[in-house]
A and B are shown apart, each in its own frame.
Chain A
Amino acid sequence: MALSWLLLILLALAVIGYFTGRSRALASAGGDARDLHSLPSYYGYNVALTALVPALGVLIVWLLVQPMIVNSTVSGLIPDQAIPEGSERGLIMSEVRRVANGLNGAIAAGALTEAQAQNANADIDELTTVLKGAGQVLTQDVTQPILIAAQKYRSMTGAGSVAMQVVVLALALLGAAFAYIRTHKEFRARNVVEQGVLALLLLAASIAILTTVGIVLSMLFETMNFFQLHSWKDFFFGSTWAPNFRGGSELSILPLLWGTLYISLIALLVAVPIGLFAAIYLSEYASGATRSLAKPLLEILAGIPTIVYGLFALLTVGPALVSMFGSGGALGLGWMASSNAVLTAGLVMGIMLIPFVSSLSDDIINAVPQSMRDGSLGLGATKSETVRQVVLPAALPGIVGAILLAASRAIGETMIVVMAAGAIAKFSGNPFEAMTTITTRIVSQLTGDTDFASPETLVAFALGLTLFVITLGLNIFALYIVRKYREQYE
Chain B
Amino acid sequence: MNDMTRLERTVDSKEIKIAANNVQVYYGDTHAIKDVDVEIEDKTVTAFIGPSGCGKSTFLRCLNRMNDTIDICRVQGDILLDGEDIYDKRVDPVQLRAKVGMVFQKPNPFPKSIYDNVAYGPRIHGLAKNKAELDEIVEKSLRRGAIWDEVKDRLDAPGTGLSGGQQQRLCIARAVATEPEVLLMDEPCSALDPIATAQVEELIDELRSRYSVVIVTHSMQQAARVSQKTAFFHLGNLVEFGETGQIFTNPEDPRTESYITGRIG
Contacts and interface: CB of A to CB of B under 8 A. Distances in A.
Interface of A: 287-288, 369, 371-382, 385, 389-390, 393-394, 488
B183 to A, nearest CB: 11
Contacts of B110: 372, 375-376, 389-390, 393-394
B64 interface: yes
B5 interface: no
B111 A382 contact: no
Closest 7 pairs (CB-CB, A-B): A380-B98, A378-B102, A371-B108, A380-B97, A375-B108, A379-B121, A394-B111
A375 B94 CA distance: 13
A389 B120 CA distance: 9
A393 B178 CA distance: 22
B74 interface: no
B104 A371 contact: yes
Scoring A378, A393, A488 by chain B CB atoms within 10 A of each residue's CB, the highest score goes to A378
Interface string B79-121: 0000000000000001111110110101011111000000011
Scoring A288, A374, A394, A488 by chain B CB atoms within 10 A of each residue's CB, the highest score goes to A374
A374 B111 contact: no
B104 to A, nearest CB: 6
Interface in B173-189: 174-175, 178
B71 A288 contact: yes
B104 A378 contact: yes
Contact of B108 (A374, A382, A385, A389): A374
28 contacts: A288-B71, A369-B108, A374-B66, A374-B69, A374-B102, A375-B104, A375-B109, A375-B110, A375-B171, A378-B66, A378-B101, A378-B104, A378-B175, A379-B98, A379-B178, A380-B96, A380-B98, A380-B99, A380-B121, A381-B94, A381-B124, A385-B124, A389-B110, A389-B124, A393-B110, A393-B112, A394-B110, A394-B111
Contacts of A373: 69
Nearest to A394: B111
A380 B66 contact: no
B131 interface: no
A379 B104 contact: no
A288 B120 CA distance: 30
Contacts of A374: 66, 69, 102, 104, 108
A408 to B, nearest CB: 27
B263 interface: no
A162 B125 CA distance: 87
Contacts of A378: 64, 66, 97, 101-102, 104, 175
Given A374-B108, A394-B110, A379 B175 contact: yes
A395 to B, nearest CB: 10
Scoring A371, A380, A382, A385 by chain B CB atoms within 10 A of each residue's CB, the highest score goes to A380
Given A287-B71, A488-B160, 14 more contacts: A372-B110, A374-B66, A374-B108, A375-B171, A376-B120, A378-B104, A379-B124, A379-B175, A380-B95, A380-B99, A380-B178, A381-B120, A385-B124, A394-B111
A368 to B, nearest CB: 9
A99 to B, nearest CB: 72
Interface string B168-205: 00010011001000000000000000000000000000
Contacts of B71: 287-288
Nearest to A288: B71
Instruction: Name the prevailing secondary structure of the A interface residues.
Output: helix
B124 A380 contact: yes
A50 B68 CA distance: 65
Interface residues of B, number: 28
Contacts of A381: 94, 120-121, 124
B145 to A, nearest CB: 14
Nearest to A488: B111
B94 to A, nearest CB: 5
Contacts of B171: 375
A27 to B, nearest CB: 60
Contact of B66 (A377, A385, A393, A394): A377
A390 B174 CA distance: 14
A381 B92 CA distance: 11
Nearest to A386: B124
A374 B68 CA distance: 11
B94 A371 contact: no
A378 to B, nearest CB: 4
Interface in B27-63: none
A379 B106 contact: no
B111 A380 contact: no
A488 to B, nearest CB: 7
A284 to B, nearest CB: 11
Nearest to A389: B120
A393 B113 CA distance: 12
Contacts of B160: 488
Scoring A287, A372, A381, A382 by chain B CB atoms within 10 A of each residue's CB, the highest score goes to A381
Nearest to B102: A378
Contacts of B112: 393
A369 B112 CA distance: 15
Nearest to B98: A380
A331 B171 CA distance: 56
Contacts of B95: 380
Given A287-B71, A389-B120, A379 B97 contact: yes
Nearest to A374: B104
B174 A379 contact: yes
A347 B235 CA distance: 58
B91 to A, nearest CB: 12
B81 to A, nearest CB: 14
Nearest to B124: A381
A377 B125 CA distance: 12
A377 B111 contact: no
Contacts of A382: 94
Contacts of A372: 108, 110-111
A332 to B, nearest CB: 47
Contacts of A288: 71
Contacts of B64: 378
B118 to A, nearest CB: 10
Nearest to B96: A380
A172 B249 CA distance: 85
A287 B70 CA distance: 10
Contacts of A375: 104, 108-110, 171, 174
Nearest to B116: A389
A377 B178 CA distance: 13
A388 to B, nearest CB: 10
A392 to B, nearest CB: 11
Contacts of B175: 378-379
A303 to B, nearest CB: 30
Interface string B123-149: 011000000000000000000000000
B108 A377 contact: no
